[in-house]
Structure 1
Amino acid sequence: MNRSTHRPSRAIDVQVLLGGDRDVKDWQRRHTSGEVPDAFPYGLDRLSEHGLVVRGTRLRTRSPRKLRGALRRLGGGLDWTFGALVEADAEVVLAWDERVGVPAVLMQRNPPPVVGNVIWCTDSVPNRPLRDAVSKGLRRMHGVFVLSSGQVPILREAYGVDPRRTVVVPFGVDGDFFTPGDQSEVDPELVVSVGNDRDRDFPTVLRAFRSVRDTRPSSRLVIVSKTISQHEADAVPGVTVVPHLSHSELRDLVRRAAVTITLTRPNLHVSGITAVLETIAMGRPAITTDTPGMSDYVHAEGGIFTVPPGDHAAAAQMCSALLDDPDRASAVGRAGRRTLERHFTTERQAARLAPLLQDAVATG
């Protein structure tokens, strides 16, 4: 695909499909109040720096939420129940994931060019009829992007998507919101683990921390997740489960952490990358799982350590080494912040996305 790299002479109108029930206007209000990062979810407001003006679209449907959820499950996660979302006057549509992107191109007769992110269907290939629909939808898109190079082969093998039409766009976080705190506030005994998605591996986190605690009984682990209960965590001393924190509360917690540990089961969509990047943005070292595509984020500058999937011993060893050497942990954290600034901010993400959208308008 030929991709434009210049700033267009006029603003390009981009309609964004986010999926779910996210209210962009409420997000923007909360951003103005300093409660959430970036002025638009996923930092897509940064596209304005490249001559692209984004507008949000909520999935609006008359179907009750429970019914709609059941239909999504039956439909392999695709949201077929929404109304006429794609607006005729949009010059290009950016679909943040395939759950809205595939229906957008299949349910509209003559939609504007669609550029779509693929997240979930590379880890769970659906049955034949649904796989054919996903394949058809992805191949109709003007362009497809992914967050991990590990997703590219399965898109080709399972869905027939030409790798030349698939662009790896590394994820980014808001480096202006997630910033390092005062080093004096770091708690040398605090380990933090964050996440809710289906590939989080909290059993391995707990086994790793049990080993850490055996040699360092003053250490503590705070898990921020709705997917594990305090009762499950009580089997390991020193563990506290917090079901939910606001963005600012989470920022305060991670700033104080000696290290974060984000372990996942094998997956292709780099589960955990938000937590990992937010950690290094705040100048703290991150331990995560070496899954396909995670190597896209582990740079020579440092900040991120990986361990094999399910290897609680390796995770415990790395965690203990960082707890035992606060100076090293701080140096790793500073290196991680440099990695973030150079490669993984939402500004960087927008700069990589912009040419795809510009090309869609120019050639679509």
Structure 2
Amino acid sequence: MSDDRRLKVLSAIVTDYVRTREPVGSRALVERYRLGVSPATIRNDMATLEDEGYIHQPHTSAGRVPTEKGYRRFVDEVARIKPLSAPERAAINALLSGAVDLEQVVARTVRALAQLTGQLAVVEYPSLRRTTLRHLELVALGPTRLLMVIITDTGRVEQRTVGLSGRGPDGLVDPAVLERLRLRLNTALVGRRAVEVVPVLAALAEQAPADERAVLAAVTDELIAALRPDAEERIVVAGTANLARSLDFTAIGTLLDAVEEQVVLLRLFTSEDAAHRDDADDTGTTVRIGSEIHEDALAEASVVSAAYGPGDAVAHLGVIGPTRMDYPATMAAVRAVARYLSRFLTGTEGSTPG
């Protein structure tokens, strides 16, 4: 489809259908949009768009609705991210400002995204695998247990209980040994990414004094487990009720089950890195529609997502909604919230999102 006029007709059909939820007829396009052509010309353009698979007629007497292919063309060639309004920017600042740690800001972020878009919002916690170590704390819990606290550069805090087999003569971990090991580990590991940790730990094991080896071995096992490629990632969701209010989903039960179990959502974000490399636009926002998501439970949905984080992306956030969504406004909200969260992680969250 190369005709600019027909592209304008497609844009008008998408815009009208998103707004009204009703099939769009040629008369409605003439009355609501200044397309500069006669109703007969619009009908001819609609017939061509239907032949090319961009729109279809759900019933014989009805107007037309966009197809998945039509939405895709609209997003690729017509949709432009709308600047956030002043009230929207104020809402983001009001919802997100004042958060003091990663847990708070992620919880507020997912609620803000759901409220701004009216869709299901999903935020992935920064992955331990993609971040760098800021601090490692070791605390004795008893004769056979140790608490290891992993703090990353994004502010994520992960706690692991470490089982111990090597102890001092009194049955307890020697505090002096534990302190030396903590200092040694922090000196060697702070600022390093997960892929760099294993060889460093191996070198430390070779050089460790005899009284540190048992504890170091136990800590090493747990730390590697926390950073392994298939380690469990964390996501949070908000706005599930927004899905139930959508009239587009004929298989709403299947999707709600997937959201509740989070299996599909985890798999969705697992594949987001490749999607963002291949499909992200120049704003860093990715839109996947229907079959492009490759998940049966999301066959009637669209996902608008963005990566966030300091420097290289460390995680993703996005919204899931019907294919009949306001793509320009949704893309703007996702981009703005991702930027805010990135600034929070770099300590510059006072900037205004846009």
Question: What TM-score range do you get, normalising by the shorter chain?
Answer: under 0.3
Q: Larger % of helix: which?
A: 2
TM-score, normalised to structure 2's length?
A: 0.27
TM-score, normalised to structure 1's length?
A: 0.27
